Amino acid sequence: MALDKRSIALLYRKRAKSYDFSANAYYLLGIREFAYRKIGVAALNLKKGDTVIEIGCGTGLNFNFLRKKVGPNGNIIGVDLTPEMLEKADKRIRRNSWQNVTLVQSDATVYRFPEHINGIISTFAITLIPEYDRVIQKGAAALSPNARFVIVDFKKPDRWPMWMIKLFVILTRPFGVSLEIADRHPWESVARYMTTVEFRELYFGALYLCVGEAL
């Protein structure tokens, strides 16, 4: 059963302290999480001085990658539902003395996107949001022309046997993954509100990269 918003918040409140360490458990499955995060950030095509928003930023694992793209004069806005995850992100920001990263505690569905954003990214987060279509629609409307919305997330592998899919779900359930969310297809929302410039399966079809470009 797919977790509702309240359950997702409770899950990540509990996981916040150990999230960075537990994320490394993906490597036990052969999932090169940080490599996929880098692929997503690179697909944004950001320039120095740009402003980028991350939906579901969590503890800020993408911030260093994003900052290398936008530079010290660019701006990074991290949006997350869970205060405990943002507390960890804030510690990361202060530890690195980053002056250009802003954190916003908000449900992504009600978050008011600033206008003329140069990029939006979500890694391993947006599929967990029941109203993901609304989030993508609002994000697309806030992007500058030709700016990109990038998603890296889980999907149901088309070529895997069901027993393998169920095993994968069990192993990733601590992060909120379930069979039910396999029916959520954020890439279809990207195609609805933007031009899809890239869709690529990763990790044998269990992950994907989707890149939408604002009109």
Over residues 175-211, the pLDDT tens digits come to 667 777 778 999 999 999 999 999 999 988 989 999 9
Task: Please tell me the distance from the alpha carbon of residue 64 to that of residue 39, in angstroms, as a whole number.
Answer: 13
- pTM beyond 0.85, yes or no: yes
**Domain span including residue 53:** 5-213
* Cβ atoms of residues 187 and 151 within 8 Å: yes
Question: Using CA atoms, how far apart are residues 103 and 167, in angstroms rounded to an integer?
Answer: 35
Q: Which one-letter amino acid corresponds to residue 138?
A: K
Per residue in 83-125, pLDDT (tens digit) is: 999 999 999 999 999 999 999 999 999 999 999 999 999 999 9
Task: Supply 108's token pair.
Answer: 């992504």
Percent of the chain with pLDDT over 90: 69
Number of domains in the chain: 1
Which CATH number belongs to the domain containing residue 62 in this structure?
3.40.50.150
